[in-house]
Amino acid sequence: MTGAAGFIGSNLVKRLFKDVKGATIIGIDNMNDYYDVTLKEWRLQELDNATKTTDNKWVFIKGDIADKKAIDDIFAAYKPSVVVNLAAQAGVRYSITNPDAYIQSNLIGFYNILEACRHNPVEHLVYASSSSVYGSNKKVPYSTDDKVDNPVSLYAATKKSNELMAHAYSKLYNIPSTGLRFFTVYGPAGRPDMAYFGFTNKLVKGDTIQIFNFGNCMRDFTYVDDIVEGVVRIMQGAPEKKQGEDGLPLPPYAVYNIGNNSPENLLTFVDILQQELIRAHVLPEDYDFEAHKKLVPMQPGDVPVTYADTSALERDFGYKPSTTLRDGLRAFAEWYAEFYKG
């Protein structure tokens, strides 16, 4: 599993510790400083603590998927049967000012993973895509059947490229692959560059938060445990290998949305967030929220709405995310209180 010290990756490893018996789980992460490394170190410590209650073997390797030799050596040593690629340079706005990081990790790094899968008997490659691939798509909810050829950020372009690269490798080398378009993932120990985490940090400091598109953004906020549940189910359901009429393999390839299928207005999200931060004693009871928010125009690379059509996920895996915004933000606020205030 790449990106094992990341937000989704660490939660997925923890879930596999509970569900899987006698497995060897290899985690890879370059531990870069895109955001506070101490948070990644904390997640790894949580995983080390969790190994005390599991009979699985856990191996963590500090390495970069853009390092082809490092990836080839890991595959040669451990010969993984399932590969989950969650390592990527994330963030829409960061891609505007730091494009090189996205090319290295999201394109070269993913190519190295595909090549390693090509030369090793991998049963299933699962990889993270993003709802960002839908760009400024006017049709909602977003369906995986929609045409997504007009990205509005380099980040989105690299994620769409991952899907195209995976399709080519599935067709050419009969590698079962599944791409997952995640929709605005949030929860405890998340990424500090995500809006809800950044808002919290600013509110705690007494700073003013900026709410883009004058508060008229709709997001399909998806709680991290719901994402993990979807990934675990999909890991076990590799696309079937089939022969076409021409005798050549049909690409064992699939792409799914994993989202809450229920977009929320950003203002509603932030209002519930500040309520839960007060409840968790992160903010004082008399906190003047209205005095600390500012409505501003849309940022470059952003989109006004994200909304997942999850019918394919329900059809093929009998699953639909269901955690409410209130429950998810309460869990985040309680974690934040313990991690930063405890």
Q: Rounded to an integer, what distance in angstroms lies between the CA atom of residue 184 and that of residue 219?
A: 7
Q: Using an 8 Å Cβ cutoff, are 108 and 91 in contact?
A: no
**What is the DSSP annotation of 62-83?**
E--TT-HHHHHHHHHHH--SEE
Q: Rounded to an integer, what distance in angstroms lies between the CA atom of residue 171 and that of residue 169?
A: 5
Which own/partner pairs from 234-239 qualify as long-range (CB within 8 Å, at least 24 positions apart)? 234/126, 234/178, 234/180, 234/317, 235/82, 235/84, 235/124, 235/126, 237/178, 237/316, 237/317, 238/123, 238/124, 238/176, 238/178, 239/170, 239/176, 239/177, 239/178
155 labelled catalytic: yes
Tell me the C-alpha to C-alpha distance, in Å, between residue 27 and each of 44, 60, 66, 176, 320: 10, 5, 15, 21, 27
Instruction: Single out the catalytic residue among 102, 142, 155, 223.
Output: 155
Task: Determine whether 7 is exposed, middle or buried from the number of CB atoms within 10 Å of its CB (0-12, 13-18, 19+).
Answer: buried
- Tokens read off for 32: 């870069």
Helices (H), 51-186: 68-78, 92-97, 99-102, 110-118, 154-173
Q: Using an 8 Å Cβ cutoff, are 212 and 98 in contact?
A: no
Q: Is the peptide bond preceding residue 263 cis, with omega within 30 degrees of 0?
A: no
Place of tokens 């313990």: 338
Active site residues per annotation: 155
